[in-house]
Structure 1
Amino acid sequence: MIPAHLGAGAALGALLIVVCCIGRVIYNLYFHPLASYPGPLLNRATRLVYCYRLVTGRLSLDVRDYHERYGPVVRIAPNELSFACAAAWKDIYGHRIGPHGTTSELPKNPDFYLLKGQEPGILATNRENHAMLRRQLAHGFSDRGLRAQESLIGAYVDLLIQRLRERAVRKPGTDARFVRGQVKDGKDEEMGSDAPLLSGLAGSDAPAPPRFDMTQWYNWTTFDIIGDLAFGEPFGCLENATYHPWVLTVNNTMLRMASQNAVKYMGLGWLIPLLLKFVITSRREHIARTDEKLKRRMQLSFERPDLIEGLLKKKDEMNLSWSRLRTTASSLIIAGSETTATLLSGATYLLCSHPEVLRRVTDEVRSTFASEQEITLTSVGNLPYMLACLNEAMRRYPPVPIGTPRVVPAAGMQIAGYDVPEKTVVAVWQYAAYHSTQNFREPFEYRPERFLHDPKYENDKIEVLQPFSVGPRNCLGRNLAYSEMRLILARLLFNFDIELADKNSQWLNQNAYIIWKKPPLEVYLHPRKVE
């Protein structure tokens, strides 16, 4: 039996915990500096709901609904505000003039960006270190650097088109053969598998074309490109038509970060090594593979116009530790591949779901270029309708749907006209802002013409769309991403007629963690018959 005095002590301890929790809830609801800001009751009272919805992948969608109910600023956690207005971008993420005339910025929220035991790279480091790293990386992302990388990027897009052609089949009635193997008696000789009949094309007994999971193909392409640009070698995804283990580790780690952050938000970061061993394992694999690739890149005996050449030249002068160099290179890989592939996947689905838009952008590509050789990183800048399609895809399906949090400094500040006290976590939640009826007419419709001065959408607040952020921490790879996306999409539309394999697909119905958890995007690719 438990001694009476111990039982009484345990009961008293439990009672004190309950009283403290109740007291904290009362404080958060009625006496907290953010008590006057609107938001759902449970979110204002405790972080529990926020964390639960975060780990289930629904928080970004919830925040959108909160803004529709409560307006442009919402208290989504006891100490956190979400903004859904254009003015908040500059106030939260832009340059600020400090008390002595110096330029400063809101610090990043360490609970979101920092991982225990890891030196911060370019994404999480302080303002001074960030500026130093960015200066050395800037040349690789400049227009001049982009032109120097054109042949390298173009070679991987060539390989993408080649791999797709090898696996494609023409529309029934034009060519009933798989390019990769002759079809006889309903079988692909090379694959040795039964070829199913087309179900959606009446009167045709031609074998069905293969389905292409463009989620995979885009990921393979962008990871190979950024791998070569950052490490001097690709991951071999396109060459082998499969994921490299390192790429899978990166994707899995990104998706699991939501659970890790939820633990930290609850003040239990010290439990991560015990509760999230699978994250630690992925992290170790990621570190080991990054070290291996970075060492091989540094052993090259010649200069190459890639993204980290400038950083490697100055690493000793900057006293850049191996850990920080590794973390920065890793950040480039993630930021320069996953987000680009995500946007291309979303754009492809949206185009295929809107045949009239797909037809118009395809006509633009094919009427602008007489041959594939004319389609370059530079020439794709002459496709205004495609740019509108990509911008609208970024609005409907932002690659980073969450808000990237900052912390209000001492003495507080004004954000979008609202007085915000110190230590408040603030962010513009992209999915919420881009789907707000306060910012866009028909926010859930895919309408590229809203970016082409269509009078119907003249009241849209286009300036709220900032997928690459703003200010001193905006995305360094913006020009590279736009050029890469337009080049890949233009080459794809020039070579193939595209259609969804499942006409009833609800592909956009996804969970959003730090990034979206993308399902397969299956399409038919019909090689274009050029007369």
Structure 2
Amino acid sequence: MTSPSFWPPQNVSVTLAQVFALLSLCLIPVVFYRQFSGPLQKIPGPLSARLSRLWMVKHSWQGDMHRTMIELHKKHGKLVRTGPNEISVADLSAVKKIYGAGTKFAKSPWYSVWQGHRKFDLFAERDENIHSAQRRLVSRIYSMESLKDLEKYVDNAVAHFMTIMQTRQNQDTNMGLFVQLFAFDVIGEVTFSKRFGFMDAGKDDGSFEQIEGALRSAAWIGQIPALYWIHDFLSPVIGSHLGITARHGGLRNFAAKEIESRKSRGSDHQDILDKLFAVQKEKPDEMTDVNVLSMAASNIFAGSDTTAISTRAVIYYLLKNPKCKRKLVEELDTQKREGKLTELITLEQTKHMPYLQACLYEGLRCHPAVGMSLPRVTPPGGINIDGRYIPEGTTVGVNPWVVHRDTHVFGEDVEQFRPERWLGKSDSGEMERFFFAFGTGARVCLGRNLSWMEMSKLIPTLFLHFNIELVDPKAEWIEICWWFVKQEGVHVILRAR
């Protein structure tokens, strides 16, 4: 005798759709609890952001995350819920806890999309022990003291840029484009002992489009990393359809070709590759050929965009604020009259130009290159932020654009470009502490010194030799945030001084 079957009921057919519907009904209470009754329930934010990651995907795709987060924090305060399990933080007392030395906050899975299958990636590596070991291998190479060996080669690129600007006097010049061509050529000069020739051509070879496509792709798909890994698994069959793969493919191949070219022709001077090869000779098991390639590719991918964005910002804000431009030019002229400046301004000379330094800091405060939060995962035990408990496993992050508009640190006029705010001795220390343009803590941007060197030399040299004005002083530039906040619309007229 067989036991009676109670499921499914006799004479009742059960379809797959009905099973899924039943499971969905069972999950509704769980979803409702997590979004509206869980530990994060009282943290305000957009309703749609509580329900799914699609809110983050939408704004990452649209490229307006930097401005959106400023407005949300103005409306809701120091904590804003931006996902079912994600919080944007504007409480500056928490910055050190999240990003400081020895932090237990690991990078979120968002970074896995940037890393892909790369084993050596200082930007995206999520294991702090691995990152620390990798960073120790190369940190000395990117120190300001080490980069001074390469300053003369940055000078070569600055001199070439000035020669090209001489030929473009009294005509509409897309300065935003040319500073990126300059920054890319500098990367070639200091990494491979060879400029790529972009300044001469007045255009790139398609690399900028690949970089932009990778940035936009990673910005949105990083919000749902599983989609990237599904695509990665299926790519042998369906092909590659995500821009981020250029970081792991096309741009990496470009770097590989340049490394081989550099090995074939040699070089009559030191460059970053030479310094990487020296580390490889000393520690071949740790600095493999693949790791050297990863560093060179990272230089190309990030080194040009961040410097170009920052240089555009300083130039644009100076041109939008003629009084500030005039003060900078007066400082330059005074230094020149006193015989303190050479034809190509040195990094050492810029240290004695306080208004220039203030302009650089203020330009990067108003427009930091990164416009999305730097997401981290709360460690076991959770954390208290702004009087609220954030449980372990929650993604939290601080957005540089939000930090740089904190009125308690930078004053009530945070939307105004005012370099003078950096000249007050009593205030500048606190502002420098929360200067987030290159990140902060143990994961601060490795390339910040090279970027600062390029800006410090190009901008004063440009304003010393040319009178520069916007083609349309009333026009506003366009900002688009795909991780980096790129700008369009810095068209200028140059006239020799």
Please say whether Structure 1 and Structure 2 have the same fold, judged by a TM-score greater than 0.5.
Answer: yes
Contact 2:59–2:65 (CA under 8 A) maintained in structure 1 = yes
Amino acid at match of 2:424: H
The DSSP-based 3-state class of the residue aligned with 2:207 is: helix
Contact 2:110–2:375 (CA under 8 A) maintained in structure 1 = no
Amino acid at match of 1:337: S
Which residue is equivalent to 2:163?
162
Which residue is equivalent to 1:368?
335
Amino acid at match of 2:419: P
Which residue is equivalent to 1:124?
124
Does 1:216 pair with 2:196? no
Aligned with residue 260 of structure 2, among 289, 295, 308: 295
Residues 7-27 of structure 1, C-alpha deviations (whole Å, 9 max, x = no match): 961441452465367445412
Amino acid at match of 1:435: R
Deviation at 1:352, TM superposition (A): 0.9
Deviation at 1:73, TM superposition (A): 1.9
Deviation at 1:433, TM superposition (A): 2.1
Contact 1:64–1:436 (CA under 8 A) maintained in structure 2 = no
Q: CA 1:154/1:303 → structure 2, altered by over 3 Å: closer, same or farther? A: closer
Contact 1:223–1:247 (CA under 8 A) maintained in structure 2 = no
Q: CA 1:131/1:296 → structure 2, altered by over 3 Å: closer, same or farther? A: farther
Contact 2:78–2:386 (CA under 8 A) maintained in structure 1 = no
The sequence identity of aligned pairs, in percent, is: 26
Amino acid at match of 2:42: S
Contact 1:441–1:460 (CA under 8 A) maintained in structure 2 = no
Q: Which runs of 5+ in 2 are unaligned?
A: 1-10
Q: CA RMSD in A?
A: 2.9
For 2:160 and 2:51, the matched residues in 1 are separated by: 54
Alignment of 1:102-501 (within 5 A): 105-114=104-113, 115-125=115-125, 126-168=127-169, 209-264=170-225, 269-271=229-231, 273=235, 277-279=241-243, 282-283=246-247, 284-299=249-264, 301=266, 304-315=269-280, 317-370=284-337, 372-373=342-343, 375-415=345-385, 418-437=388-407, 439=409, 440-453=411-424, 463-501=433-471
The DSSP-based 3-state class of the residue aligned with 1:389 is: helix
Contact 2:35–2:41 (CA under 8 A) maintained in structure 1 = yes
Which residue is equivalent to 2:62?
56
Larger deviation, residues 22-31 vs 464-473: 22-31
Contact 1:94–1:105 (CA under 8 A) maintained in structure 2 = no
Which residue is equivalent to 2:5?
none
Amino acid at match of 1:235: F
Larger deviation, residues 266-275 vs 25-34: 266-275
Larger deviation, residues 236-245 vs 492-501: 236-245
Amino acid at match of 1:486: S
For 2:299 and 2:195, the matched residues in 1 are separated by: 14
Q: CA 1:384/1:334 → structure 2, altered by over 3 Å: closer, same or farther? A: farther
The DSSP-based 3-state class of the residue aligned with 1:369 is: helix
Contact 1:235–1:244 (CA under 8 A) maintained in structure 2 = no
For 1:124 and 1:405, the matched residues in 2 are separated by: 11
Larger deviation, residues 76-85 vs 307-316: 307-316
Contact 1:68–1:437 (CA under 8 A) maintained in structure 2 = no
Report the TM-score, using the length of structure 1 for normalisation: 0.81
Deviation at 1:388, TM superposition (A): 1.1
The DSSP-based 3-state class of the residue aligned with 1:129 is: helix
Larger deviation, residues 297-306 vs 419-428: 297-306
Larger deviation, residues 249-258 vs 467-476: 249-258
The DSSP-based 3-state class of the residue aligned with 2:326 is: helix
Amino acid at match of 1:117: H
The DSSP-based 3-state class of the residue aligned with 2:482 is: coil
Task: Give the structure with the larger helix fraction.
Answer: 2
For 1:106 and 1:88, the matched residues in 2 are separated by: 12
Contact 2:368–2:436 (CA under 8 A) maintained in structure 1 = no
